[in-house]
Amino acid sequence: MDVDSSSLHALRSQLYNPVDTPIAHEELDLFRKKEFGDADVAELFHENTKITLNDARFARRVHKFNNDETSWTVLEHFRPDYENREPVELPDPAESLSTDLSTALSQRESVRVFEGGELSRQQLSTLLWYSSGTPRTQVLSGEADHPVERRPYPSGGGLYPVELYFALTSAGEGLSEGLYYYVPGEHELRRLRRPASAGDFLEELTGLLDPHDETAIDFEGANFVPMLTAAFWRSKAKYGPRGYRFVLQESGHLLQNLLLVAEALGMGGVPLGAYREDEINEFLGVDGVNEALVYAGVFGTTGGNA
Ligand SMILES: Cc1cc2nc3c(=O)[nH]c(=O)nc-3n(C[C@H](O)[C@H](O)[C@H](O)COP(=O)(O)O)c2cc1C
């Protein structure tokens, strides 16, 4: 982005502050050096994944994908479903959530200190079902031959490239600590790793964060650490590089569901952007290229609603 301090100045005054409080050029210069000093890969990406008025590439790509049987076959058969891993059944979720949406929305805030309570199987089942369970399939218009899943959060093209892994760091009622994968269509878990490695993982995760920071997170009191990965290619196969945007947007939808349902269950959580990428990918057993971590959170019991 080619920004100099006078154009930033002009932008600011047009948008926010036509007359008052001029900002010194030196201050803007400092900001510009900090924020825009390096070659900006984010801007390159943004510019190169726009759909422009005269650009038929995007529509052509989507059309081609929809009409190519192999796209659907590949999507159907290449899910990281971990079928060969130990299955862990979940009880039926609670029939409904007793907290209404307006309460959950208005009370939701990032929680970083937890009560330290255990997560029951029933709570976990309810949390996962209302956030990410798959109650039925639907047919997208124009794609009658390929009914897609319907989940409680939206997904570009119904391709669901975002996968939900989580570490249970303090679990009760026959659940053990460890790393799990949620199979939404079956409302079932696959156990991927045993407890010892969940402890190792927390060390990796906390290693980056300053315990004296006021936003330090109480990992010891937490019990549920969701880690959302994206199988980028599932979205990019249809949408090209623009699919990368869709994946990040979708992960936000899913994490917000988890946060709101957690709120309704007397839990709370904080989204996590500061984590060690490569170490967590390795912990999850994903290659970091075709499938990689895109978002995470730390959740625990707060003794709120429920
Ligand atoms: C993408 C994203 C990444 C975040 N990463 C962190 C993080 O690494 N550590 C943290 O303590 N909070 C993190 N947060 C939480 C924000 O600090 C918090 O949402 C914000 O201060 C607003 O407060 P509220 O969530 O209580 O409304 C993140 C939030 C978002 C949306």
pLDDT tens, position by position, 264-288: 999 999 999 888 788 889 889 999 9
From the CA of 109, give the closest atom in ligand 1.
26
Ligand 1 probe mutation, 105, 219, 272, most atoms within 8 A of CB: 272
Tell me the CA–centroid distance for residue 215 and ligand 1, in Å.
9
Residues 6+ away with beta carbon under 8 Å from 251: 162, 228, 230, 294, 295
pLDDT of residue 94: 95
- How far is the CA of 231 from the CAs of 13, 36, 52, in angstroms? 42, 30, 26
Is residue 19 domain-shared with residue 126, that is, in the same domain?
Answer: no
Is residue 224 domain-shared with residue 176, that is, in the same domain?
Answer: yes
Is residue 82 domain-shared with residue 225, that is, in the same domain?
Answer: yes
Q: Is residue 16 part of a domain?
A: yes
Tell me the CA–centroid distance for residue 56 and ligand 1, in Å.
38
Whether 210 lines ligand 1, by a CB cut-off of 6 Å, is no
Instruction: Check pLDDT > 60 for residue 243.
Output: yes
Instruction: Check pLDDT > 60 for residue 123.
Output: yes
Tell me the range of 32-36, 70-74, 94-98, 172-176 where mean pLDDT is highest. 94-98
* 163 contacts 231 by C-beta, under 8 angstroms: yes
- The pair of structure tokens assigned to 17 is 């502050």
Q: 198 or 63: whose pLDDT is higher? A: 63
Q: Residue 99 is part of which domain span?
A: 57-301
Is residue 175 domain-shared with residue 30, that is, in the same domain?
Answer: no
Ligand 1 probe mutation, 105, 106, 109, 110, most atoms within 8 A of CB: 110
- Write b or e for each residue in 187-226: b if 16 or more Cβ atoms lie within 10 A of its Cβ, otherwise e: bbbbbbbeeeebeebbeebbeeeeeeeeeebbbebbbbbb
Q: Is residue 49 part of a domain?
A: no
Q: If you take atom 14 of ligand 1, which residue's CA is the nearest one?
A: 271
Q: Tell me the Ramachandran region of residue 240: left when phi exceeds 0, alpha when psi lies from -120 to 50, beta otherwise.
A: left
User: What's the number of domains the chain is made of?
Assistant: 2
Q: Tell me the Ramachandran region of residue 169: left when phi exceeds 0, alpha when psi lies from -120 to 50, beta otherwise.
A: alpha
Q: Is residue 44 part of a domain?
A: no
Whether 105 lines ligand 1, by a CB cut-off of 6 Å, is no
Is residue 189 domain-shared with residue 72, that is, in the same domain?
Answer: yes
Q: 231 or 198: whose pLDDT is higher? A: 231
Q: If you take atom 31 of ligand 1, which residue's CA is the nearest one?
A: 271
For residue 187, the domain's CATH number is: 3.40.109.10
* 305 contacts 263 by C-beta, under 8 angstroms: yes
Average pLDDT in the chain: 82
Q: Is residue 167 part of a domain?
A: yes
Percent with pLDDT over 90 in the chain: 43
The predicted model gives 52-76 an average pLDDT of 81
3-state secondary structure (DSSP) of residue 256: helix
pLDDT of residue 218: 82
Q: What is the pTM of this model?
A: 0.86
- Specify the range with the lowest mean pLDDT, choosing from 90-94, 197-201, 230-234: 197-201
Q: Is residue 86 part of a domain?
A: yes
pLDDT interval class at 12 (50, 70, 90): low
Is residue 121 domain-shared with residue 159, that is, in the same domain?
Answer: yes
pLDDT interval class at 99 (50, 70, 90): very high
Tell me the CA–centroid distance for residue 225 and ligand 1, in Å.
15
* 164 contacts 181 by C-beta, under 8 angstroms: yes
- Specify the range with the lowest mean pLDDT, choosing from 27-41, 69-83, 147-161, 275-289: 27-41
Q: Which residues pair with 171 in a beta bridge?
A: 119
3-state secondary structure (DSSP) of residue 305: coil
pLDDT of residue 58: 82
Is residue 25 domain-shared with residue 90, that is, in the same domain?
Answer: no
The predicted model gives 113-119 an average pLDDT of 88
pLDDT of residue 204: 61
pLDDT of residue 4: 63
Rounded CA separation 123/129 (Å): 10
Is residue 161 domain-shared with residue 15, that is, in the same domain?
Answer: no
Q: Is residue 78 part of a domain?
A: yes
Whether 296 lines ligand 1, by a CB cut-off of 6 Å, is no
Q: Is residue 46 part of a domain?
A: no
Is residue 14 domain-shared with residue 119, that is, in the same domain?
Answer: no
Is residue 125 domain-shared with residue 206, that is, in the same domain?
Answer: yes
**Residue 86: count of CB within 10 angstroms of its CB:** 12
Rounded CA separation 54/125 (Å): 48
Is residue 24 domain-shared with residue 77, that is, in the same domain?
Answer: no
From the CA of 217, give the closest atom in ligand 1.
11
Instruction: Check pLDDT > 80 for residue 20.
Output: no
Residues in the chain: 306
Helix (H) or strand (E) holding 199: helix 195-206
The predicted model gives 3-30 an average pLDDT of 60
User: 128-180, pLDDT tens digit by residue?
Assistant: 999 999 776 665 555 556 666 789 999 998 889 999 999 988 777 778 888 99
* Angle formed at CA 205 by CA 221 and CA 298, multiple of 5 degrees: 45
The predicted model gives 119-133 an average pLDDT of 95
Tell me the CA–centroid distance for residue 260 and ligand 1, in Å.
14
pLDDT of residue 125: 96
- The pair of structure tokens assigned to 196 is 């010892």
From the CA of 112, give the closest atom in ligand 1.
11
Is residue 161 domain-shared with residue 258, that is, in the same domain?
Answer: yes
Q: Is residue 47 part of a domain?
A: no
